[in-house]
Chains A and B, each alone.
Chain A
Amino acid sequence: NFMLTQPHSVSESPGKTVTISCTRSSGSIASNYVQWYQQRPGSAPTTVIYDDNRRPSGVPDRFSGSIDSSSNSASLTISGLKTEDEADYYCQSYDSINLVVFGGGTKLTVL
């Protein structure tokens, strides 16, 4: 099994752009799709990015995902930050035995 490591917290001002990283500990980040989930306080998670860089309908295009093989990491970028983006964000992928792996989560503060 591998681990997905995220920064514990990030902060940025409204209107700015923030990037949250998700680094895979072993094996290639490109081997399995990466998903990103947003969880606002007191609410269930929702999907903001799936299959590395696809957005579900209803998710604004301010949210984008990418992978970087050189750093073996995935990234979630949120541009034009709004106070409503303040939430916990989790990355997720799969290992070769169909098991699901989550990152530890990143708390985004929009101040």
Chain B
Amino acid sequence: QVQLVESGGGVVQPGRSLRLSCVASGFTFSRYVMHWVRQAPGKGLEWVAVIWNDGSNKVYAESVKGRFTISRDNSKNTLSLQMSSLRVDDTAVYYCVRGGSGWSWGQGTLVTVSS
């Protein structure tokens, strides 16, 4: 079955960088669009970014544009999110999500931005 395992979360100071990873299994990774979605504590879901199956196109939410970079390595079934210039309001659980019809979600990794 589909498995998405995120890692890389932790506590980081404002202005610093952090890189999240997601290892996929149970499906042909290179055939699917992949997303990052986040959820601040006690809040709703917020879409962050999407990358096409072949990496040819990337789209970002306005709130992260210019600060976050989504990438993928289809040879390693891995999705990444490079986050820089982190702000306190970037604090959230970050979910790796397989796109297409019927999204599949990972369990998430918590990023806390605090001084």
Contact = CB atoms under 8 A, between A and B. Distances in A.
A103 B101 CA distance: 18
Nearest to B4: A44
- The prevalent SS among residues of B at the interface is strand
Given A50-B103, A97-B59, A45 B44 contact: no
A47 to B, nearest CB: 5
B59 A99 contact: yes
Contacts of B59: 97-99
B107 A44 contact: yes
Max chain A C-beta neighbours (<10 A), residue from B46, B50, B101: B101
Interface string A38-49: 010000111100
Contacts of A99: 47, 59, 61
A5 to B, nearest CB: 12
Nearest to B46: A102
Interface of A: 35, 37, 39, 44-47, 50-51, 54, 56, 88, 90, 92, 97-105
Interface of B: 35, 37, 44-47, 50, 59, 61, 95, 101-108
